[in-house]
Structure formats: C-alpha cells, structure tokens
C-alpha cells in the first residue's frame, strides 16, 4: 500500500528572524558612529625635546590674523631659483581665514625638491584657534612630513 507522505520539510524562519532582530538591536546600541583618533606630536622643548639638531625641518608660524610664515631650515643645496621660492614664504589669509590650499601646494613643492624632509614644527601665536593648529599639522602630515612638533609661546 503506497503511503502518500509529504517528505518536504519547511524551515521555520521565525526563530532565526527573532535572533537577527536581537542581534541588530544590540549592534546598533553598541555601534560607534563617530571615530575618534589622535594626532601625535613630539615635545619640542625641555628634557624630552625632539632631536631637531641639524635635521631638515619645516617651520610654520601661524599668527593671530591667519597668515602663515613657512620657512625651511637646514635645507640641502638647491638651485637658486628654487631656493628663493621655497626657503621662506608668507601666505596671507583668505577672508580672514588660514589659506590651507596654498599652504598645501607650497609644502608639496618643498617636498618635491627636498624629499628627505620629515620634520615639521608648528609655532602658533597666542590667539590662534586649536582647530587651525590641527589643520596645519594635518596638512603637513598629508604631505608626509610625519615628525611633528609644537613650539610653545
């Protein structure tokens, strides 16, 4: 006698969906929506001062009005035409704000002519905003000037 049993089994998805719902809720609660990070700088003065010595270094002075004075120290021998362009330059502000675009272009030019440049010193004035100081350091980092220092007042 042939039995007409239905051998097809159906997977019950309801518990699986419950599990996924709980997992999603837990992950949403613990998710990190804002990534925090740090910008590390070496100390430039004191007993633990960074070893500046005769290393090629790029000094960036930020004044209260937003202008930047960029000067290259201990640079190697360069052609006179290039030396004039990159050794010391003043970047005026744009509408009262620091001109990061011109600064980045200038640092890029210096890096092209002085590939060994790794050290950058930032020298902000008293009223310079913390954000401006960070943006200058970030711009230096973007051009692979990785060893950064902050010069205190």
Residues that bind other proteins (CB under 8 A): 13-14, 16-17, 20-21, 23-24, 27-28, 30-32, 34-49, 124-131, 133-135, 137-138, 141-142, 150, 152-153
| Choice between 94 and 134, CB closer to other proteins | 134
| Choice between 63 and 99, CB closer to other proteins | 63
Say if residues 42 and 149 touch (Cβ distance below 8 Å). Answer: yes
Whole-number CA gyration radius for the chain: 28
| Choice between 3 and 38, CB closer to other proteins | 38
**Taking the complex as a whole, how short is the minimal distance between the CB of residue 16 and other proteins, in angstroms?**
7
Sequence-distant contacts of 51-55: CB under 8 A, at least 24 apart: 52/119, 52/121, 52/149, 55/118, 55/119
**Taking the complex as a whole, how short is the minimal distance between the CB of residue 65 and other proteins, in angstroms?**
14
Give the DSSP letter of residue 46.
S
Q: How many residues does the chain have?
A: 153
| Choice between 75 and 111, CB closer to other proteins | 111
Closest residue by Cα to residue 121 from 65, 70, 87: 70
What contacts 12, CB < 8 A, 6 or more positions away? none
Reduced to 3 states (helix: H, G, I; strand: E, B; else coil), residue 27 is helix
| Choice between 32 and 97, CB closer to other proteins | 32
């Amino acid at each position: 006698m042939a039995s007409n049993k239905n051998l097809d089994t159906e997977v019950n998805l309801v518990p699986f969906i419950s599990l996924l719902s709980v997992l999603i809720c837990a992950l949403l609660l613990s998710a990190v929506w804002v990534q925090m990070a740090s910008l590390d700088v070496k100390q430039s003065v004191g007993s633990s001062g960074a070893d500046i010595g005769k290393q090629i270094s790029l000094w960036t002075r930020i004044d209260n009005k937003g202008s930047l004075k960029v000067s290259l120290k201990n640079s190697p021998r360069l052609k006179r035409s290039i030396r004039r362009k990159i050794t010391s330059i003043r970047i005026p502000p744009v509408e009262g704000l620091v001109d990061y675009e011109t600064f980045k272009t200038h640092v890029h030019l210096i890096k092209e002519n002085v590939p060994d440049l790794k050290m950058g010193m930032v020298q902000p004035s008293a009223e310079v905003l913390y954000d401006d100081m960070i943006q200058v350091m970030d711009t230096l980092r973007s051009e692979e000037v990785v060893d950064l220092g902050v010069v205190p007042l």
